Amino acid sequence: MIVSPRRKTARTAQYVALGCYLVFLGFPLLWMLSVSFKGPRELVELHPHLIPSQATLQNYRDALTQNDLPHSAWNSTKVATATAILTTLVGLPAAYVLARQKGLIARLGLGWILLSQMFPLVLIIIPLFLLLRQLHLTNSHIGLVFVYMVWTLPFILWMLQSYVRGIPRDLEEAAMVDGAGRLYVLRTVIAPLLAPGVVVTALFAFITSWNEFFLALVLLQTPDKTTLPLRLAQFVGIEGIPRLGPLAASALLATLPSLLLFTIIQRWLTRGLLSGAVKG
């Protein structure tokens, strides 16, 4: 097969554009890695270099020992994992109903999902705090998990219902002809086929909770409850001057769990994105 010069030029241009885009996305992470290995003198140079002249691990020692970063990482892990599990368990049957039922209730449900994403978080933070205080759920990880679950559930429902629509109804009808109930069909037929989409949505809920700062800042009040984003903010002093070295090291360590999760479930992520794009 002979490739025309025009097509070859277009393909080369696409690869060049893709390479530039990857550099654009990866350069901040690369620069943060460079800063995390630089000493105090090198950080204040007028003309910084990407490769440190004298690499040091002191920034990582300060990050792990001075601000109790491991404990905050453990708090974030507990909150993010619980949020991902609970949101997926609640969202899966609800998304199934939205995708399969036709009528006013389903349309109102989809309309509520879209409408809930239009309100800024700052509008509800005061009534939310007062409500949680009455329920004695402020300054607790349980209250934070409930808030994260409610906040991420609309987008999770929107994602999952698109995956459910990609599953043919014939599979459900064949199971029901054999005498299977609706819940049994959901558990044994729909859930296995939705596994890639469930992994994608659970990952989204986990990453959203892992990176969230504002709600945790308002609801958590004691140091032992602090999550990782709040701990990172403590590397900026009262004068507003950040400790760049420990901050870069801490931020890089905080990014590693997300990168590892994406690497481990990359196959599921790709399948989930493709299955969500298919309509039955």
**How would you write the pLDDT of the chain (280 residues) with one tens digit per residue?**
455 677 778 788 888 888 888 888 888 888 888 888 888 788 777 677 778 888 888 888 888 887 788 899 999 999 999 999 999 888 888 888 888 777 777 777 777 777 777 777 778 888 888 888 898 888 899 999 999 998 888 888 888 888 888 878 777 777 777 777 777 777 777 777 788 788 888 888 998 899 899 899 989 988 889 999 988 888 876 666 778 888 888 888 888 888 888 777 766 655 544 444 444 4
Contact by Cβ (8 Å): 150, 94: no
Query: What per-residue confidence (pLDDT) applies to 273?
Result: 47
How is 204-270 classified by DSSP, letter by letter? HHHHHHHH--HHHHHH--SGGG--HHHHHHTTB-TTS-B-HHHHHHHHHHHHHHHHHHHHHTHHHHH
Q: What is the pTM of this model?
A: 0.80
Q: Which CATH architecture has domain 69-276?
A: Orthogonal Bundle (1.10)
List where CATH 1.10.3720.10 sits in the chain: 69-276
